[in-house]
Structure 1
Amino acid sequence: MKKFMDEDFLLESETAKTLFHDYAEKMPIVDYHCHIQPQEIAENRQFDNIAQVWLGGDHYKWRLIRSNGTPESKITGKESSDREKFQEFAKALPKAVGNPLYHWTHLELKRFFDCDITLNENTAEKIWDLCNKKLRTSEMSVQGIISNSNVKLICTTDDPADSLKWHKKIRDDGSCSAKVVPAMRPDAIMRIDAEGYSDYIVKLGKIADIEIKTINDIRQALKKRMNYFGDMGCRVTDHALEYVFYNPADDAKINTIIAKALKNEKISNDETEKYQTVLLTFLASEYSKRDWTMQIHYSALRNNNSNMYSKLGPDTGFDCLATYNCAEGIVAFLDSLNKDNILPKTIFYSLNPADNTMIGSVIGSFQGPGVFGKIQQGASWWFNDSKYGIVNQLTNIANLSILGNILGMVTDSRSFLSYPRHEYYRRILCNFIAKLVENGEYPNDIDYLGKLVQNISYYNAKKYFGFDI
């Protein structure tokens, strides 16, 4: 029987151990998609306790605790102390056999706190004291965590109307060891059918110094903001779509739809699709000109629990995967961009693992010269970043595309302690490749395979996005 989470955790052969320990383990981290707050980096926040850094905004953990029957007051409620919330997490976690949260939690305890104690309700007090003592040291400030995790690049997620003042402070201060840049996420301007769209138009217009009434006004405002984001180092964007479609229309039709939205009139699904198709096509053309990468995350049903949404708002753990058929929409959208020579580097992430084979087959139809893996299937995302989900995604890419061209892992996290997710991914990656070698399905060329896992872990992303790191 193997020891729990020893140095060879998830590595099932000597080949896997060699690939990980000699090649992948020490590679730097490029975290090109996350949700951490640049303000906390700029201010080099020092957390008071482990609950703040672990439970403060982590809806993965909130869902786990809720599933154990814990009342919401002891999960997100202001009336409960951080210590009480930590205890509820410690009570729920031991039951989560096979859940990646169990692995991530103990990897984080080992890597950041030199703690090999397994967390449960009986050990919670000891771990609470141990972690909180370490959190008071300079190496556990936000910038200390980033440096000690060997992070070279962080792309935060930022609205086009954001002033980026914290990014400017990070850049001007120069004390953070990692390069921290914005990744533009224009969801608010895309969601013409959402409450608050007209207010957002005013906000975007104000920062761009443009009165927005038409689709061309929106284009001009976004161009100005993209210019500023580019000056601040942006090379990556992101879009959260419920599903992918292609429903084009002319500007006159889009202006009619915008006029309705600005009067807060109801926008139909067809009108939403038309508006979003035109806007996303414009954005893709701009990304292509700027050599930016477009990320598209789709197939998530968000804010399903209306009672809890009214109390807590979005991104609080009440989401699930969707089962839309998006193949036709993806193909039509990519083909339209390709015909007009405006197809940027693009990464698709579907929350539905049933889409893996579809995406893997689609991307092969739109690759372009001069860029390895121009159109990519993104790393296992959200409900899929488990051991099984990662292996499933790697298998799909290996079967249908070029495994050696993929871009590695992202944390997709709101916690600064999530960087061991890259280690988790790399261990699974090395074991996946090693199994093929051990089974005689690939030559035992360790030097070549070692370079390949180093590329997947770090160099591919560095080259693909074009960051100077």
Structure 2
Amino acid sequence: MTTNTIDRKNVFGEAFLLQNKTAENLYFGFAQNMPIIDYHNHLEPDVMSINNHFRSPTAIWLDGDHYKWRAMRNFGVEEHFISGTASDKEKFQKWASVVPYTLRNALFHWTHLELKNPFGIKEYLNENSASSIYNQMQEALQTDAYRPQSIIKNFNVTTLCTTDDPAYDLGYHKALKSSAFETEVLPAFRPDVYINIINPQAYLTSIKKLEQVCGMTIESASDLLNALQNRINYFDEVGAKVSDHGFEYFPDTTLWNSTLEEEYSEFLKGNKAIFSNPDALCGYVLKELCKMYAAKGWVQQFHVGATRNNNTAMLTKIGINSGYDAIGEQYFAQRLSVMLDQLNTNDQLAKTIIYNLNPAYNEVLASLAGNFNEGGIKSKVQFGAAWWFLDQLDGMEKQMNTISNIGLLSTFVGMLTDSRSLLSFSRHELFRRLLCNMFGSEMERGLLPNDEQWVGKIIQDICYNNTKNYFGF
């Protein structure tokens, strides 16, 4: 495919982001058709298992999408048309009126890539095109080709990992495993609510839920660890290979002692209204969990650098994960290093991926990751993909440049969606195009060898092979 036969002028063009012939050859020859492993997302197992038609474009595209919600609020759209009771078509129309003003925001590219694939719509979304595009999407969603499982198949996803509370029964995962659906859908263990005491009453409510599913009483830290080990064993039986944690700050893993153990027991029994040192509890339980993950051969993931639920009024009104989070400024590298070193010293360090939300710490965490590698595993501790506010062209390029400068980009486990939307698999396409353009541009400038087979193999590794081997899928 030659450059003069390809329209590279817009997001719908075949050579979007591919700024030279070498980049095109790398993308079309090596990256485009590689399968997708999406090892961290927030897709709902019941939606995939039940496999019903979506009621409308709004249901598949706007419901719960805090990226789009945030942009609409920035544009001054009333909450009634965002998370409120407006009709699906009204919400879609409001979103369409905002899209022309998202230029240079990642949403502009995501939106139109998602229209192109899977819907085949190659038209800019705006107020004038909204009704026609809504109707095209609505008509498509009523066909079997746009049921959840068909959409996943369309994107060539071989494996995906959801994000799951340890108390979930994983019934939908089991149903998917025993069905004819070819994509492997695996649970991921996310125990944050059992180790982070933010609201004491909410924490105790979560503990009660864990007690019920485990059939045991939790009245001490050791009881909690036994319950979590019980659930890790269960998740492992259902096929889990991954755990995940999200931290506003990284806990201190050196503080736990017998006095705190006794106080925590009194808190669990209802004899104390609060627990005085949630940081110590979180650090202690986290380190013990990491040992359990290592024993299972799992990959542990740490998401660091966010500050969440900053708008108290809206948190009260519509709840968490609704677009009121931000980049945090807590320094956490030293605490993380101490924990990784403690685990590594005792041969209990699992494969680890560190996702960073504060770009000021990119080099800090990438260099930290390189301290804990070992023979037989390529980049055992990984500096993970650009995440959340950094999941855009500039953020992804900076993340990959940081790995290139401090570690080995060739061993990177690549992209993920971290999304609640089935349409967000198009982000893998955006990532792959950017990756090929980065390599292709440097090849044409003479900075890298002009050997497409050599470089193409590395690109395929980053897109798929590294992930498959690292996780053992």
For normalisation by structure 2, the TM-score amounts to 0.96
Determine which of 186, 189, 195 is the counterpart of 1:190.
Answer: 195
Determine which of 18, 21, 32 is the counterpart of 2:25.
Answer: 18
- d(CA) in 2 for partners of 1:133, 1:448: 44
Amino acid across the alignment from 2:74: S
Amino acid across the alignment from 2:426: P
Determine which of 442, 446, 451 is the counterpart of 2:448.
Answer: 442
Answer yes or no: is 1:345 the counterpart of 2:351.
Answer: yes
Identity of aligned residues (%): 40
1:49 aligns with 56
Relative to structure 1, the CA distance from residue 253 to residue 461 in structure 2 (aligned partners, 3 Å threshold; closer, same or farther) is farther
1:308 aligns with 314
- d(CA) in 2 for partners of 1:394, 1:106: 24
- d(CA) in 1 for partners of 2:263, 2:16: 55
Q: How big is each residue's C-alpha offset from its partner over 1:250-270, in whole Å with a ceiling of 9 and x where there is no partner? A: 4523423423542362334xx
Amino acid across the alignment from 1:180: V
- d(CA) in 2 for partners of 1:423, 1:60: 19
- d(CA) in 1 for partners of 2:417, 2:464: 14
Determine which of 73, 81, 93 is the counterpart of 2:80.
Answer: 73
1:357 aligns with 363
Q: Which moved more, 1:187-196 or 1:207-216?
A: 187-196
How far the C-alpha of 1:154 sits from its partner, in A, is: 1.1
2:381 aligns with 375
1:59 aligns with 66
- Say which SS state the counterpart of residue 328 (structure 1) adopts: helix
- Say which SS state the counterpart of residue 237 (structure 1) adopts: strand
- d(CA) in 2 for partners of 1:406, 1:290: 22
Q: How big is each residue's C-alpha offset from its partner over 1:223-268, in whole Å with a ceiling of 9 and x where there is no partner? A: 1111110011000010011122434244523423423542362334
Determine which of 16, 24, 29 is the counterpart of 1:9.
Answer: 16
- d(CA) in 2 for partners of 1:277, 1:211: 22
- d(CA) in 1 for partners of 2:363, 2:307: 21
Relative to structure 1, the CA distance from residue 257 to residue 460 in structure 2 (aligned partners, 3 Å threshold; closer, same or farther) is farther
- Say which SS state the counterpart of residue 368 (structure 1) adopts: coil
Determine which of 139, 144, 152 is the counterpart of 1:138.
Answer: 144
- Say which SS state the counterpart of residue 432 (structure 1) adopts: helix
- Say which SS state the counterpart of residue 134 (structure 2) adopts: helix
Q: Which moved more, 1:406-415 or 1:193-202?
A: 193-202
Q: How does 1:278-357 map to 2 (within 5 A)?
A: 278-357=284-363
For normalisation by structure 1, the TM-score amounts to 0.96
Q: Which moved more, 1:136-145 or 1:329-338?
A: 329-338
Determine which of 12, 30, 39 is the counterpart of 1:32.
Answer: 39
Q: How big is each residue's C-alpha offset from its partner over 1:298-342, in whole Å with a ceiling of 9 and x where there is no partner? A: 111111110000000000000000011112112111111111211
Root-mean-square deviation (CA), in Å?
A: 1.3
- d(CA) in 2 for partners of 1:435, 1:356: 23
- d(CA) in 2 for partners of 1:252, 1:206: 27
8 Å Cα contact 1:109/1:116 also seen in 2? yes
Answer yes or no: is 1:253 the counterpart of 2:268.
Answer: no
8 Å Cα contact 2:163/2:189 also seen in 1? yes
Q: How big is each residue's C-alpha offset from its partner over 1:58-85, in whole Å with a ceiling of 9 and x where there is no partner? A: 100000111111110111112x100000
2:223 aligns with 217
- d(CA) in 2 for partners of 1:155, 1:375: 19
1:266 aligns with 274
Amino acid across the alignment from 2:145: E
